[in-house]
Amino acid sequence: MALDHEVAVSAPSLLGALPDAVVVADRAGRIAYVNPAIRVLLGHEPEDLVGQPLTVLMPERLRHGHGAGFARYAATGEGKLVGATTQLPALHAAGHEVAIDLTLSRLRRPATVAGDPLVVAVLRDASTTILLERQFEVSRYLAATLRVTAALTEARDADVAFRDLLPTLCTELDWDTATLWQPDRTTGTLSHAGTWTAPGQEPGALHTASRELRFRRGTGLPGIVWTRRSPVAVENLWEDPSFIRAEAARADGIRSGVAFPVVHGDELLAVCELFSREERPVPAELLDVLAHAGRQIGQFLGRLRAESEVRRLADTLQRSLLPSHLPAIRGVQLAARYRPGGGAGLVGGDTYDVMPLPDGRWMVLIADVCGTGAEAAAVTALTRHTARAAASPAAETTAGPAEVLRAVNAALLREQTGGPLRFVTAVCLMLSPGPGGVRATVGVAGHPLPVLACPDGPREVGVPGHPLGISPDLDVPVVEVELPPGTTMVLYTDGVTEARDDTGAQFGDEGLLRVLGGLPGDAEATVEAVTAAVEERLRHSRYEADDLAVLALAVPA
């Protein structure tokens, strides 16, 4: 607002009607005129202010240096606040501070004597603007923390999520560097777990100092957050006595920081520190947002950590259902692949086994249990161990594939409860290596037929039978198959042939035979080619992958 001399001194009715407070000052820095709106804004009576210095409207801390600055403006007509709107605090008549937007304008006619008006100031209540700005800032932080949580959902386990937490927080919340602290149950302290700096910048003195420290409850910024379980902001790290790494922060040019806890229920998972090279305030509303973010991130990380633990336990259980290694059989190459399915069951129902028999033969088993999870794992373990027991030296007679599979069938029927039916499909081979090749006795119980890859092309072998665990009257047809040099027998579960691409088309028996048709008689190359073809079929597919097991027995040429 630009006012000339005439407006300032001869049109008080015009100024008096304005809703904003208007203050006119003379060359000496005294108030020459103030309109009635000052009463609403700052609680002063207009007539009481006339003749008083402008500093009567300023908080004590802003009065220092005002006289020199105003005198310089009076002499030169230049001032950095003139012509602009500045947000600053004013002093209310009751003694408290009021946030205002201040706009200064010089009068067009130069003031030549002390009493002439020199400058006009328009004062407007800034509380609404500040509130809107804070609400905007809060909404920005809320959106950013939602993006942080969304980004963490892509992590495959808790370790990866913690690794990605700092860069995601800094990027989304606009901080320069960050430090992560995690509880050490052995020492009962918070230990440094990671530092993130902006791309192109190297970790500095603060990172070095943090790596050497451990914080107990109530000690240092992380320890204070640990005790309070709420965010803590430090606007000036160099001067705050609670921040014991002040010298390191000064060396890196880091001025402000905020730390907040990541909690899951009553458990502290981590303390995150965010640092800025600018001295920046953190309003209470933003501390509330960070507290909420810490709980949200903690809930997600806690669930992810629990899932990671379940996966580790499932992996241990899965390994117990498979041989730790394949044995060496004279004249036969062995290779196998196993991959669990993509569902929530975690433990698959596929298994395979190779076991030596006392008469020089070898039992080879592959089986697929209906379903996944703990119950399926129990059935898988029962199937594998029963087959071993039936073929072991303790058996009364020399067992063949039919006897082994019937023993498994009987065991499954004995274990059936009122729950869902857990049937099993399986193939059992008895291998008899000899000088001219290998002979295999093959029994199939409802399982995909083995494929014999020969120089003249692959073909299925065996006779389909009924699955195990359904009926006590089990007939297992048995066939004899010769494996001359240069041939490979492939046993697999239906996770191979039933793998579907994004259109729903299955890999199928044709896909398997096509892959096996052009392979050399090498066991490792065979299982690698089959699993690679299945993975390619599943690439970008919307359909969930089933458990997969492939076992190849190759007789070198």
For the segment 100-127, what is each residue's pLDDT rounded down to a tens digit?
888 887 765 554 444 566 788 889 888 7
Domain co-membership, 344 together with 286 = no
Domain co-membership, 508 together with 393 = yes
- The token pair at 316 is 């241990």
Q: Which of the 8 DSSP states describes residue 54?
A: G
Could you tell me the pLDDT band of residue 534, with boundaries at 50, 70 and 90?
A: very high
Choose between 310 and 357: higher pLDDT. Answer: 357
Give CA separation, 365 vs 247, 319, 478, 553, in Å. 67, 16, 14, 12
Domain co-membership, 167 together with 116 = no
Could you tell me the pLDDT band of residue 213, with boundaries at 50, 70 and 90?
A: very high
Domain co-membership, 150 together with 114 = no
CATH number of the domain that residue 160 is part of: 3.30.450.40
What does the radius of gyration of the chain's CA atoms come to, in whole angstroms?
Answer: 40
- The token pair at 284 is 């209470």
Could you tell me the pLDDT band of residue 189, with boundaries at 50, 70 and 90?
A: very high
Can you say whether residue 237 is alpha, beta or left, with left for phi > 0 and alpha for psi between -120 and 50 degrees? alpha
What is the spatial order of strands in the sheet that 214-215 belongs to? 214-215, 189-197, 177-184, 267-276, 256-264, 232-234
Choose between 123 and 392: higher pLDDT. Answer: 123
Last residue of a domain, one of 266, 294, 313: 313
Choose between 348 and 446: higher pLDDT. Answer: 446
Number of domains in the chain: 3
Domain co-membership, 437 together with 416 = yes
β-bridge mates for residue 452, sequence order: 459, 489
Q: How many residues does the chain have?
A: 557
Q: Identify the three-state secondary structure at position 413.
A: helix
Domain co-membership, 394 together with 299 = no
Say if CB 466 and CB 445 are below 8 A apart. yes
Answer whether residue 318 is part of any domain: no
d(C-alpha 232, C-alpha 210), whole Å:
18
**What range does the domain containing 120 cover?**
5-125
Q: Which of the 8 DSSP states describes residue 499?
A: -
Q: Tell me the average pLDDT across 370-388.
A: 81
Runs of H (alpha helix) within 37-79: 37-42, 46-49, 60-63, 66-76
d(C-alpha 266, C-alpha 295), whole Å:
10
Q: Tell me the average pLDDT across 460-472.
A: 92
* DSSP symbols for 214-241: EE-TTSHHHHHHHHHTS-EEES-TTT-T
Span 220-229, pLDDT tens digits? 999 999 999 9
CATH number of the domain that residue 395 is part of: 3.60.40.10
54: pLDDT strictly greater than 80: yes
Answer whether residue 473 is part of any domain: yes
Domain co-membership, 106 together with 209 = no
- Output the CA angle 452-454-458, nearest 5 degrees: 55
Answer whether residue 252 is part of any domain: yes
479: pLDDT strictly greater than 70: yes
- The token pair at 184 is 């050490």
7: pLDDT strictly greater than 70: no
Last residue of a domain, one of 286, 313, 340: 313
Q: Identify the three-state secondary structure at position 521.
A: coil
d(C-alpha 288, C-alpha 280), whole Å:
17
Runs of H (alpha helix) within 158-283: 158-173, 205-211, 220-228, 246-252
Using the structure block, give the residue that is written with the tokens 């923390």. Answer: 145
Domain co-membership, 196 together with 249 = yes
Amino acid at 81: L
316: pLDDT strictly greater than 70: no
d(C-alpha 1, C-alpha 106), whole Å:
9
Answer whether residue 426 is part of any domain: yes
12: pLDDT strictly greater than 80: no
Helix (H) or strand (E) holding 284: helix 284-320
d(C-alpha 453, C-alpha 521), whole Å:
8
244: pLDDT strictly greater than 80: yes
- What confidence score (pLDDT) does residue 28 get? 83
Domain co-membership, 332 together with 362 = yes
Give CA separation, 398 vs 163, 359, 389, 403, in Å. 57, 9, 12, 9
Could you tell me the pLDDT band of residue 348, with boundaries at 50, 70 and 90?
A: low
- What confidence score (pLDDT) does residue 14 get? 65
d(C-alpha 289, C-alpha 158), whole Å:
23
d(C-alpha 197, C-alpha 176), whole Å:
7
Last residue of a domain, one of 278, 313, 348: 313
Answer whether residue 143 is part of any domain: yes
Q: Count helices and strands (H / E) in the chain.
A: 17, 21
CATH number of the domain that residue 9 is part of: 3.30.450.20
- What confidence score (pLDDT) does residue 79 get? 66
Strands 85-91, 478-483: pairing is unpaired
Domain co-membership, 75 together with 185 = no
Q: Count the helix, strand and coil residues of the chain and give each as a percent rounded to the nearest 5.
A: 35, 30, 35
What is the spatial order of strands in the sheet that 424-434 belongs to? 350-356, 362-369, 424-434, 437-445, 478-483
Q: Tell me the average pLDDT across 457-462.
A: 93
Span 149-187, pLDDT tens digits? 776 777 776 677 777 777 877 777 788 999 999 999 889
In this prediction the pTM is 0.52
Answer whether residue 155 is part of any domain: yes
Q: Tell me the average pLDDT across 127-149.
A: 70
d(C-alpha 73, C-alpha 65), whole Å:
13
Choose between 265 and 171: higher pLDDT. Answer: 265
Span 60-69, pLDDT tens digits? 888 876 777 7
d(C-alpha 384, C-alpha 365), whole Å:
8
Domain co-membership, 349 together with 287 = no
Answer whether residue 371 is part of any domain: yes
Q: Where would I find the beta strands (DSSP E) of 277-434? A: 333-339, 350-356, 362-369, 424-434
d(C-alpha 262, C-alpha 290), whole Å:
9
Answer whether residue 529 is part of any domain: yes
Helix (H) or strand (E) holding 523: helix 523-538
Span 395-421, pLDDT tens digits? 555 689 999 999 999 999 988 766 666
Could you tell me the pLDDT band of residue 478, with boundaries at 50, 70 and 90?
A: very high
Domain co-membership, 328 together with 282 = no
| CA nearest to 488, candidates 447, 524, 462 | 524
Q: Which of the 8 DSSP states describes residue 532?
A: H
